[in-house]
Protein backbone atom coordinates (compact mmCIF):
# COMPACT_ATOMS: atom_id res chain seq x y z
CA UNK A 1 0.00 0.00 0.00
CA UNK A 2 1.29 3.46 -0.87
CA UNK A 3 1.96 6.27 1.57
CA UNK A 4 -0.30 9.22 2.33
CA UNK A 5 1.63 12.48 2.03
CA UNK A 6 0.68 16.10 2.36
CA UNK A 7 2.54 18.68 0.29
CA UNK A 8 2.27 22.46 0.18
CA UNK A 9 4.59 25.31 -0.72
CA UNK A 10 4.92 27.54 2.35
CA UNK A 11 6.42 30.88 3.36
CA UNK A 12 9.06 30.89 6.08
CA UNK A 13 6.44 32.11 8.56
CA UNK A 14 4.02 29.30 7.75
CA UNK A 15 1.56 30.57 5.13
CA UNK A 16 0.47 28.92 1.87
CA UNK A 17 -1.27 32.05 0.53
CA UNK A 18 -2.15 35.55 1.63
CA UNK A 19 -5.61 36.44 3.01
CA UNK A 20 -6.99 36.86 -0.53
CA UNK A 21 -5.72 33.42 -1.65
CA UNK A 22 -2.84 34.87 -3.69
CA UNK A 23 0.40 32.87 -3.58
CA UNK A 24 2.72 35.75 -4.46
CA UNK A 25 6.35 34.62 -4.55
CA UNK A 26 5.61 31.14 -3.23
CA UNK A 27 5.53 29.53 -6.66
CA UNK A 28 8.73 31.15 -7.99
CA UNK A 29 10.57 27.86 -7.54
CA UNK A 30 8.29 26.30 -10.18
CA UNK A 31 9.94 28.64 -12.72
CA UNK A 32 13.46 28.93 -11.24
CA UNK A 33 15.39 26.51 -13.42
CA UNK A 34 16.03 25.03 -16.83
CA UNK A 35 14.49 21.57 -16.41
CA UNK A 36 10.99 21.19 -17.78
CA UNK A 37 8.94 18.70 -15.80
CA UNK A 38 6.13 17.41 -18.00
CA UNK A 39 2.58 17.21 -16.73
CA UNK A 40 -0.79 16.48 -18.38
CA UNK A 41 -2.22 19.99 -17.85
CA UNK A 42 -1.25 22.13 -20.85
CA UNK A 43 -1.98 25.38 -18.99
CA UNK A 44 0.73 24.68 -16.36
CA UNK A 45 4.48 24.68 -16.97
CA UNK A 46 7.17 23.64 -14.50
CA UNK A 47 10.75 24.81 -15.28
CA UNK A 48 12.71 23.97 -12.17
CA UNK A 49 16.25 23.29 -10.99
CA UNK A 50 17.68 19.78 -10.42
CA UNK A 51 16.38 19.70 -6.84
CA UNK A 52 12.90 20.82 -7.88
CA UNK A 53 12.80 18.21 -10.64
CA UNK A 54 13.77 15.53 -8.12
CA UNK A 55 11.08 16.60 -5.66
CA UNK A 56 8.35 16.91 -8.29
CA UNK A 57 9.38 13.58 -9.82
CA UNK A 58 9.05 11.82 -6.48
CA UNK A 59 5.71 13.43 -5.67
CA UNK A 60 4.10 12.95 -9.07
CA UNK A 61 5.77 9.71 -10.13
CA UNK A 62 4.39 7.75 -7.20
CA UNK A 63 1.05 9.58 -6.92
CA UNK A 64 -2.03 7.54 -7.65
CA UNK A 65 -4.59 10.05 -6.33
CA UNK A 66 -4.66 13.60 -5.01
CA UNK A 67 -6.97 14.82 -2.24
CA UNK A 68 -8.02 18.47 -2.15
CA UNK A 69 -10.53 20.58 -0.30
CA UNK A 70 -13.48 22.22 -2.01
CA UNK A 71 -12.05 25.72 -1.49
CA UNK A 72 -8.84 24.93 -3.41
CA UNK A 73 -10.83 23.03 -6.04
CA UNK A 74 -13.02 26.09 -6.63
CA UNK A 75 -10.06 28.49 -6.79
CA UNK A 76 -8.38 26.28 -9.42
CA UNK A 77 -11.67 25.65 -11.25
CA UNK A 78 -11.02 21.96 -10.84
CA UNK A 79 -7.75 22.22 -12.81
CA UNK A 80 -9.81 21.64 -15.93
CA UNK A 81 -10.30 18.04 -14.70
CA UNK A 82 -6.57 17.48 -15.25
CA UNK A 83 -4.47 18.22 -12.18
CA UNK A 84 -0.75 18.75 -12.96
CA UNK A 85 0.15 15.85 -10.67
CA UNK A 86 -1.29 13.56 -13.36
CA UNK A 87 -3.56 11.58 -11.05
CA UNK A 88 -7.29 11.51 -10.34
CA UNK A 89 -8.52 14.07 -7.79
CA UNK A 90 -10.73 13.39 -4.78
CA UNK A 91 -12.42 16.51 -3.42
CA UNK A 92 -13.68 16.69 0.16
CA UNK A 93 -17.02 18.48 0.17
CA UNK A 94 -20.49 18.30 1.69
CA UNK A 95 -22.03 19.56 -1.56
CA UNK A 96 -20.56 18.54 -4.93
CA UNK A 97 -21.01 21.07 -7.76
CA UNK A 98 -24.24 20.54 -9.68
CA UNK A 99 -22.31 20.26 -12.96
CA UNK A 100 -19.71 17.84 -11.54
CA UNK A 101 -20.42 14.89 -13.85
CA UNK A 102 -20.19 16.94 -17.03
CA UNK A 103 -17.37 19.40 -16.18
CA UNK A 104 -15.13 17.16 -14.03
CA UNK A 105 -15.90 13.55 -14.99
CA UNK A 106 -12.65 12.13 -13.57
CA UNK A 107 -12.94 13.97 -10.24
CA UNK A 108 -14.55 12.23 -7.27
CA UNK A 109 -16.46 14.20 -4.64
CA UNK A 110 -16.60 12.69 -1.15
CA UNK A 111 -18.12 13.90 2.13
CA UNK A 112 -15.55 13.71 4.94
CA UNK A 113 -11.78 13.44 5.18
CA UNK A 114 -11.64 9.82 6.37
CA UNK A 115 -13.91 8.69 3.55
CA UNK A 116 -11.94 10.77 1.02
CA UNK A 117 -8.61 9.22 2.02
CA UNK A 118 -10.18 5.74 1.88
CA UNK A 119 -11.56 6.44 -1.60
CA UNK A 120 -8.25 7.96 -2.75
CA UNK A 121 -6.39 4.84 -1.59
CA UNK A 122 -8.78 2.70 -3.62
CA UNK A 123 -8.24 4.87 -6.70
CA UNK A 124 -4.45 4.96 -6.16
CA UNK A 125 -4.37 1.14 -6.21
CA UNK A 126 -1.14 0.75 -4.24
CA UNK A 127 0.45 4.07 -5.25
CA UNK A 128 0.74 7.13 -2.99
CA UNK A 129 -2.00 9.55 -2.05
CA UNK A 130 -1.03 13.24 -1.90
CA UNK A 131 -3.04 15.80 0.07
CA UNK A 132 -2.82 19.35 -1.30
CA UNK A 133 -5.01 21.42 1.03
CA UNK A 134 -4.18 22.85 4.45
CA UNK A 135 -7.50 22.13 6.18
CA UNK A 136 -7.58 18.58 4.83
CA UNK A 137 -3.99 18.09 6.03
CA UNK A 138 -4.93 19.26 9.52
CA UNK A 139 -7.94 16.96 9.71
CA UNK A 140 -5.99 14.01 8.31
CA UNK A 141 -3.23 14.57 10.89
CA UNK A 142 -5.89 14.61 13.63
CA UNK A 143 -7.19 11.28 12.30
CA UNK A 144 -3.71 9.74 12.10
CA UNK A 145 -3.97 9.25 8.33
CA UNK A 146 -0.79 10.98 7.12
CA UNK A 147 2.52 9.13 6.78
CA UNK A 148 4.65 12.09 5.70
CA UNK A 149 4.37 15.88 5.78
CA UNK A 150 6.14 17.56 2.86
CA UNK A 151 6.93 21.27 2.73
CA UNK A 152 8.57 23.31 0.00
CA UNK A 153 9.79 26.18 2.18
CA UNK A 154 10.23 29.49 0.35
CA UNK A 155 12.44 32.39 1.54
CA UNK A 156 9.68 34.96 2.01
CA UNK A 157 7.76 36.25 5.04
CA UNK A 158 4.06 36.95 4.43
CA UNK A 159 3.32 38.33 7.90
CA UNK A 160 -0.23 37.01 7.69
CA UNK A 161 -2.26 34.76 5.47
CA UNK A 162 -3.64 31.23 5.24
CA UNK A 163 -1.55 28.84 7.36
CA UNK A 164 -0.45 25.38 6.25
CA UNK A 165 -0.92 24.15 9.81
CA UNK A 166 -3.45 25.29 12.37
CA UNK A 167 -4.68 24.04 15.74
CA UNK A 168 -4.49 20.27 16.03
CA UNK A 169 -7.13 18.41 18.01
CA UNK A 170 -4.57 16.69 20.27
CA UNK A 171 -2.37 19.75 20.72
CA UNK A 172 0.75 18.68 18.87
CA UNK A 173 2.19 16.11 16.48
CA UNK A 174 5.75 14.83 16.58
CA UNK A 175 7.58 14.30 13.30
CA UNK A 176 10.75 12.37 12.53
CA UNK A 177 13.95 14.01 11.27
CA UNK A 178 13.47 15.48 7.79
CA UNK A 179 14.79 14.47 4.43
CA UNK A 180 16.20 17.76 3.11
CA UNK A 181 16.65 18.78 -0.53
CA UNK A 182 18.16 22.23 -1.11
CA UNK A 183 16.79 23.92 -4.20
CA UNK A 184 16.76 27.32 -5.83
CA UNK A 185 14.01 29.49 -4.25
CA UNK A 186 12.83 26.57 -2.08
CA UNK A 187 14.08 24.22 0.60
CA UNK A 188 12.21 20.94 0.21
CA UNK A 189 11.51 19.06 3.44
CA UNK A 190 9.91 15.67 3.99
CA UNK A 191 8.99 14.74 7.57
CA UNK A 192 7.80 11.21 8.34
CA UNK A 193 4.99 11.39 10.89
CA UNK A 194 5.76 9.82 14.24
CA UNK A 195 2.91 7.56 15.21
CA UNK A 196 1.18 8.57 18.45
CA UNK A 197 1.55 5.09 19.96
CA UNK A 198 5.37 5.44 20.20
What does each C-alpha distance from 117 to 61, 135, 155, 177, 182 come to in angstroms? 19, 14, 31, 25, 30
List average pLDDT for each run of 10 residues in the chain, which is 198 residues long.
94 95 94 85 84 90 94 92 89 91 92 97 96 94 95 96 86 90 96 77
Give the residue extent of every domain in the chain. Answer: 4-169
End-to-end CA distance of the chain: give it in Å, rounded: 22
CATH of domain 4-169: 3.40.430.10
| CA distance linking residue 48 with residue 44, whole number of Å | 13
pLDDT of residue 101: 83
pLDDT of residue 196: 65
pTM: 0.91
Amino acid sequence: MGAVRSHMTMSLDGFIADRSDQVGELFEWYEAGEITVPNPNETVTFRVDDAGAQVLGELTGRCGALVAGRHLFDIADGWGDQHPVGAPVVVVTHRPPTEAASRWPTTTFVDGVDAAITRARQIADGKDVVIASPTITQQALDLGLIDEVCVSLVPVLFGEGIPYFATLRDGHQLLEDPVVVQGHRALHLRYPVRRRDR
